[in-house]
Amino acid sequence: MKKKKSLINSFKYALNGIVLALKNERNLKIHFLVMILVIIMGIVFKISNLEWIICILLFGLVISLELVNTAIEKTVDIAMPEINEKAKVAKDVSAGAVLISAISSAIIGFLIFIPKIF
C-alpha cells in the first residue's frame, strides 16, 4: 500500500510543479498558449495522425525543456545568489536549449500548416 501512496504523491508533486511554473513563468504561459492555438488549428485543418503525433511530441519537448530550464534557473539562484559568470553560463545555456527546441518546433509547425492554409 505504501508504494501506491508514494506513486500518487509523485504525481501530485509533479502536477504541483507544472501548476507553479505555469503561474509564475511568462515563457511557459506563452508555450501553453501556442500549444492551444496549434491544437485548435490542428482540429480546424484536420491534420493527419502522423502530424498530431509530431505536434504532441514537440509540445512535450518544448514544455519539458521550459520546465527543466526553470528548475535550473531556480537552483542556480539558490546556490549562487550573487552574480557569477559560471552561474550565468548555466542559466543561459539552459535557456538556449528551450529556444532551439521552440524555433525547431515553429519551423516544423510551419511545414505542417502552411500548405493547409494555402
Express each pLDDT in 15-73 by its tens digit: 999 999 999 999 999 999 999 999 999 999 999 999 999 999 999 999 999 999 999 99
Q: 85-117 and 49-79 helices cross at what angle (nearest 10)?
A: 160
The total number of residues shown for the chain amounts to 118
Q: Which pLDDT score is estimated for 5?
A: 73
Q: What cell does 108 get?
A: 516544423
- Phi first, then psi, for residue 64 (nearest 5°) are -60, -45
Q: What cell does 34 get?
A: 501556442
Kindly state the average pLDDT of the residues 99-105. 98
Q: Which pLDDT score is estimated for 102?
A: 98
CA distance 109 to 60: 14
CA distances (Å), origin 32, targets 12, 26, 28, 104, 118 = 20, 10, 6, 16, 26
**Catalytic hit among 51, 66, 73, 85:** 66
CA distance 38 to 60: 13
| 51 labelled catalytic | no
Kindly state the average pLDDT of the residues 69-96. 96
% of the chain beyond a pLDDT of 90: 94
Q: Which pLDDT score is estimated for 6?
A: 86
Kindly state the average pLDDT of the residues 63-92. 96
Nearest to 35 by CA among 11, 49, 48, 52: 52
